Amino acid sequence: MAQNKRMTFTDKAKVYIKAGDGGDGAVSFHREKFVANGGPDGGDGGKGGDVVFEIDDNFSTLVDFRYKRKYIADKGENGKAKRQSGRKAEDLIIKIPRGTVVKDAETGRIIADMSVDSPQIIAKGGDGGRGNQHFATSTRQVPRFAKPGYVGEEYNIQLELKLIADVGIIGFPNVGKSSLIAAVSAAKPIIANYHFTTLTPVLGVVSIDEENSFVMADIPGLIEGASDGVGLGHEFLRHVERCRLIVHVVDVSGIEGRDPIDDYEKINTELANFSEELSTRPQIIVANKCDIAEQEQIDAFCEYINTLENIQTNVICISAVTHSGTKELIAEIAGQLQKLPPVTVFKPEPKPVKEKKQEFTITKEDDVYFVKAGWLVPIIRTVNLDDYSSLQYFQRVIIMSGIDKELQELGIQDEDVVNVEGFEFEYMR
């Protein structure tokens, strides 16, 4: 049963989110006995609900997002008579595992890194529209129109879980990574003498003393070509990105029939192919299975590592099975961590600045000019055909958006029919 549970680990998901639209402003006039010409009293619409992500440490995967892929917040309440504003809609709270990075799926822009406890607004609800009480002037005392609510933000977002750990253990399959994390922490990974026993990252807390500890992650085994999607490694390399320190475990005994030096070089090549920055992350090289290795094998590997210019520490020789050398390894890790900056938190990236341009298309079929402009739909809803001021406002929108200019370039004449998102009228210059 434990194996089946681990197979449900999901660290990537794509979902659609939409914040609530703002409520529409109300068109209303004061009516009271013995009070003449009470005037407009339509209230404002309420704000739409935000889409808010909140960390829940009871969640460790994104598996729930495989079954529900749309999240839509409620619309704000419409305004009411007697200058009563509509209620603000409740925010849509979505629980998410710690360490999830939220990206705009279309641009790759980082919207939020769910690594801190404070909730994050991912999509903002639209503001409510203004009621007709705001549009009364000395020359327009009876405004029969109001503003529609503003549209809430919407995104297709990519969720990527990047585990938060101080130390990432990497290496080929079956080199003893799981045995090591089991030896130095309370983690209970599956350990067996075959490849890919670790199918999901395993976290373990290593205690130095009562006040000091660090989190170590056992990353599923990499193989050559992992950065190109071969084996399991490509799926889990992202979990090393946050790690402050990498513990590179090598089977120095060669019992799998591989050369330890070749293993070391291939794994570092995969790191560099995945991320150049990751390949420069500080490493501690661990020669494991020294209890079954020949001394000549250990010496040859250590001599090779000592010739490398980018290595800051000596090879640490251990046996994860017998626990030999593990105390020295933990002391070395703790010492290195004291010199390193905190765990990486990805900074949100600002939205690209876009020129505000209302997009539309115009086609002509059977002497009717069809205008497609989705952004006009909420405005059309508020157009009052019996109110001159309302029609004037709609006409100004058509002119300022460039629709009128393009209609003229297409040769439109007075009394030709225009259909804007289902709303038909005769064109007049």
Residues in a beta bridge with 35? 32
CA distance 61 to 65: 9
Amino acid at 35: V
CATH number for 167-337: choose from 3.20.20.70, 2.40.30.20, 3.40.1580.10, 3.40.50.300: 3.40.50.300
CATH number for 9-31+38-161: choose from 3.20.20.450, 3.40.50.150, 3.40.50.300, 2.70.210.12: 2.70.210.12
Task: Indicate the pairing of strand 245-251 with strand 283-288.
Answer: parallel
Nearest Cα to 106, choosing from 176, 177, 161, 156?
A: 156
Residues in a beta bridge with 12? 160
Residue pair 354/175 in contact by the 8 Å Cβ criterion: no
CA distance 70 to 51: 12
Q: Is the dihedral of CA 253, 204, 231, 196 positive or negative?
A: positive
Q: Is the dihedral of CA 175, 180, 186, 191 positive or negative?
A: positive
Q: Give the up-direction half-sphere exposure of residue 387: CA atoms within 13 A in the CB hemisphere.
A: 16
Residue pair 74/89 in contact by the 8 Å Cβ criterion: yes
Would you give the distance in Å from CA 53 to the centre of its chain? 10
Residue pair 217/203 in contact by the 8 Å Cβ criterion: yes
Task: Give the pLDDT confidence score for residue 376 in this predicted structure.
Answer: 86
CA distance 166 to 208: 14
The model's pTM is 0.70
Residue pair 155/104 in contact by the 8 Å Cβ criterion: yes
Q: Where in the chain is the domain with CATH 2.70.210.12?
A: 9-31+38-161
CA distance 51 to 245: 35
The CATH code belonging to domain 361-426 is: 3.30.300.350
Q: Which residues of the chain carry a pLDDT beneath 70?
A: 1-9, 33-37, 186-200, 221-236, 310, 312, 353-357
Q: Where in the chain is the domain with CATH 3.30.300.350?
A: 361-426
Alpha-carbon distances, residue 161 vs 74, 157, 242, 255, 391 (angstroms): 27, 13, 11, 34, 51
